[in-house]
Amino acid sequence: MTVPAAVPGTLDQAAPAAGTTPPRMTPTGMTPIGMTPIQARVLFAATMGNFMSATPVLYTVFGMVLIPISQEFGWPRAQVSGVLGLAALFAAMMAFITGPLVDRYGPRRLILGGSLSFALALALFSWAPGRVLPFYGLFLLADIAAAFASPMTYSKAVSGWFDRGRGAALGFAGGVGNGLGATIIPIIGGVLLSHFDWRVTYQGMALMVGAIGFPILLRWLRDPPPGGVRDAAPALRETATAPANDLTLRQAIGTRAFWITALAIGLCAACMTAMFTNVVPVLTERGFTLADGVTVVTVFALVCAVWQWLMGLMLDRIARPLILVPFYLLGLGGLLLLQYGPSMPWLVAAGAMMGLGLGAEYSALPFLLSRYFGFRSYGAIAGVLYGGINVGMGLIPFAMNGIFDAYRSYDPALHIIQGLMLAATVAFLFLPAHDKPLRAGCDHA
């Protein structure tokens, strides 16, 4: 398998495929357009790792099989989705654990162990019996394993190898990875589910992660220098342009930027990610078919994938986070269309608008964290915020299905989510620019 030829918009070039003519190198060992082969290999590995991470493989597929599981076991939907609430707590706990570990040991060891364990845990979950305790336990086992190969650990690897064009690199790895994963994997899952059952669907996911994802990571993923690109060879250090903050977790918590980022991006990302996993149940409850729901999810994911990269390009060039506000409002409008859109064209538009919102959130979070707080304690700082997002990702679907069981409608839950997203959007008005170094208790406005 070859790495991508380039990351569009970053002016970066990847390593050549076997048997091709290598790109002309400058005396510093870089290609003329500024990207080294190891950067390209790491970017490719992180992209494929995100493609097969927990969000597309475990959570998105779970949204598709929620109803078949409920029918097979005779459980109400809230009981089936209740495992997501526990998974959120476990994922949050693991984010607190893996954050400092990735700072200390580097992302490669954690990701390789997590990827292989995740594949095995998915296979075990496919054999879950119709009893609550073992069903929940096997799902949580997969959730814990996936935490070591999460978007947070991949973003540590990418951030460490890039400075100039970091936003585009993070957007490409996350957008093409998670976005296309959330586009293609539901299609694969839908085919398996329509021909077999939910158990075979998860067995197919396990095979994909273990037989395709793990070998790619083993071959291409490498740890960045301890202090990021600034500690690399002189050719890479010359590309570093942003101020070096390198705040500790304690110092970061003392800044206004930390808490506003948690509200403005963390809360909204949790809401939109939770909605992504519940598009199919929401539309099924409104009378649309499974195929209609998968179509909307596909559009949602495709737009998210493309926009995450484009948003990264914009963040590289525009230091004010206010650029994110219009896309948050579009995401909020997409939620309203998902709830009230009368036909498929409106629902497809809803998926596209929500994709713009989620793409902006996914691109902004790792980029702003690395710019505001630096690289050396990135894992510990990101672990706190990603842990909070994981809590929301699990509790929101659980609450939505609990409200559905009580009111036989998702409308009250959707109204609450819309209010939370509006509050998060307003918080962006108070975020500082990311092109100036921060100090604890003294943010730049």
Regions of the chain short of the pLDDT cut 70 = 1-35, 227-245, 394, 434-445
Amino acid 341: pLDDT = 87
Task: Write out the two tokens for 358.
Answer: 């989620």
Amino acid 253: pLDDT = 87
Task: Write out the two tokens for 394.
Answer: 């699990």
Closest CA to 315 of 187, 171, 444: 171
What are the start-end ranges of the E strands in 39-168? none
Closest CA to 190 of 302, 78, 306, 295: 295
| Contact by Cβ (8 Å): 392, 274 | yes
First to last CA, the chain: 46
Amino acid 211: pLDDT = 96
Amino acid 227: pLDDT = 64
Q: Is residue 255 part of a domain?
A: yes
Amino acid 19: pLDDT = 41
Amino acid 438: pLDDT = 60
Task: Write out the two tokens for 166.
Answer: 């970091």
Q: Is residue 18 part of a domain?
A: no
Amino acid 15: pLDDT = 38
Q: Is residue 25 part of a domain?
A: no
What distances in angstroms separate CA 443 from CA 47, 191, 197, 431, 436, one per listed residue? Answer: 33, 51, 53, 9, 9
CATH number at residue 231: 1.20.1250.20
What DSSP line would sit under 119-139, residue for residue? HHHHHHHTT--SSHHHHHHHH
Q: Is residue 30 part of a domain?
A: no
Q: Is residue 50 part of a domain?
A: yes
Q: Is residue 27 part of a domain?
A: no
Closest CA to 268 of 325, 339, 308, 340: 325
Q: Is residue 5 part of a domain?
A: no
Amino acid 316: pLDDT = 81
- If one counts the domains in the chain, the total is 1
Q: Is residue 12 part of a domain?
A: no
Amino acid 233: pLDDT = 53
| Contact by Cβ (8 Å): 26, 239 | no
Amino acid 18: pLDDT = 41
The H-or-E segment that residue 294 falls in is helix 290-317
Task: Write out the two tokens for 417.
Answer: 């989510």
Amino acid 216: pLDDT = 96
Amino acid 8: pLDDT = 39
